[in-house]
Amino acid sequence: MSFQNPKVFKRKIRYSVPAPVKPPKLFAFLDLPRELRDKIYTDILASSSNAVTLSPWSIEVTKSMSILRTCKQIQKECKEIIWLHNGLRLREETELFARLAFFIDCIGIKGLHQLQHIEITLELLDRDELEWMCSGLRAIAASPRKGIVKSITLIAINDRPRGLKEYEEALDLMCNGDFVDGRLFGRGSSSGNSLILKTSWPHFSHWGKQRWLREMLLDRSDTADLLQELHTMFGGELYIDGTLCPNGIPPESCKLNPRDGEIKILPT
């Protein structure tokens, strides 16, 4: 008796490979028109009073300010929104020139011939601030008044608490009708040949919050090319914290401190 092997029926199983899922198209935020991006920035940075926030009053504000850490372009555009809503906007050369013209109108022609020194105080001396200063100072460099000015000084505010004496001085200035809200403040020296502009933020708030904001807005990019540009515009000598920079090039031992530095230009 013979046995036959049973027949094995093989069933063909067809496996269907699903079509590849296309990843969602990334939304190109920076491709949006600048006007629309500005509205988005303002909405993110605004507080309940619809004003761009300058200080970390709450954790929600801290989160909204974190947008500045997205990328350099967004950081710079957000900074411009903060400047705009708080009165500081020196991106165009005519704006700084207009500020100087305001004081020139006040002191008259006689005072104009006596004006020899200009001092501008800034919250930071980082790349963004120096770009705006270079843009504004071009109007001075191209002006017939260039030969009259003997020194131009850019100073960053020192990170420190304000004392009672400084508050009293600010109150005296308010009584005299000067601008002391951080947007514009000018005064002449006792000799009548100096003009001082303060374009920093209002300091009638906790100094620690001001320091926190400066760290958030600080642009740590190199500024060597802007220092050379300033030297090219005015010639003469350029100093960083009292150290001479030949041809506007800082020596290796000298580095501009954006938080508490000083740039002095002595035009030819």
Is 17 part of a structural domain of the chain? no
DSSP string for 96-144: HHHHHHHHHHHHHHHHHHH--EEEEEES--SHHHHHHHHHHHHHHHTSG
Least confident of 95-99, 114-118, 135-139, 201-205: 201-205
pLDDT tens track for 152-177: 899 887 655 556 665 666 566 555 54
pLDDT tens track for 235-245: 889 999 888 98
Residue 145 and residue 39 share a domain: no
Instruction: Enter the pTM of the model.
Output: 0.58
Please list, in sequence order, all residues whose beta carbon lies within 8 angstroms of the beta carbon of residue 121, skipping any fewer than 6 positions away. 155, 156, 157, 196, 197, 198, 199, 200
Residue 97 and residue 81 share a domain: no
Is 145 part of a structural domain of the chain? yes
Question: What does the pLDDT read at residue 90?
Answer: 39
Identity at 37, one-letter amino acid code: R
Is 195 part of a structural domain of the chain? yes
Under DSSP, is residue 166 helix (H, G, I), strand (E, B) or coil? helix
CA angle, 226 then 31 then 54, to 5°: 60
Residue 117 and residue 68 share a domain: no
Q: How much is the average pLDDT of 200-226?
A: 69
Question: What does the pLDDT read at residue 76?
Answer: 82
Under DSSP, is residue 155 helix (H, G, I), strand (E, B) or coil? strand
Residue 128 and residue 42 share a domain: no
Q: Please give the residue range of the domain that contains residue 72.
A: 30-85
Per-residue pLDDT band for 189 (boundaries 50, 70, 90) equals very low
Residue 35 and residue 106 share a domain: no
Which of 85, 101, 123 delimits the end of a domain?
85
Which of 66, 85, 104 delimits the end of a domain?
85
Q: Using the 8-state DSSP alphabet, how is residue 92 labeled?
A: S
Is 159 part of a structural domain of the chain? yes
Report how many domains make up the chain. Answer: 2
